[in-house]
Amino acid sequence: MDGCSLAITGGVSPVVTHGNYKNAHGAGPRASQTRTLRKIDEHHLASGFGAVQKSLAKNQYAATHAEKTQGINHLVTVVGIRNTTTNLWTFYWQKRMSDANNLNAPMILEGRNVIM
């Protein structure tokens, strides 16, 4: 992910939603984390999926504006693993950094197996 938010319901069949909403009424070009999380929560409830129990928000991993201006970006991969004995899911995320100024440099892992 690159600036989006992720939300997960609970239970043996969790619903995972990946979303990104911009500020309402042209209030700026940037995505609104507050609006995104609210809209995802509203969608989960209206669709009968239940309340969001876990989330990964943009401010937990995304690069700052200053970093992006310098060509630095933070990306996240999320993985869910189901325990076949308990039939429950555990979600992990891993952050990595890329540098647009040094395209030959490998991505740098910044966080490994961070449990949600």
- Give the model's pLDDT for residue 92: 87
Q: Is the pLDDT score of 22 beyond 80? A: no
- Give the model's pLDDT for residue 99: 80
Q: Collapsing DSSP states into helix, strand and coil, what is residue 109?
A: strand
What's the whole-number average pLDDT of the chain? Answer: 82
pLDDT digits (tens, 9 = 90+) for 91-107: 888 888 888 887 777 66
Percent of the chain with pLDDT over 70: 84
Q: Are 78 and 93 in contact (CB under 8 A)?
A: yes
* Positive or negative: CA dihedral 76, 60, 19, 69: negative
Cβ neighbours of residue 55 under 8 Å, at least 6 residues apart? 5, 6, 7, 8, 37, 40, 116
- Give the model's pLDDT for residue 42: 92
Task: Go through the chain and tell me how many residues it has.
Answer: 116
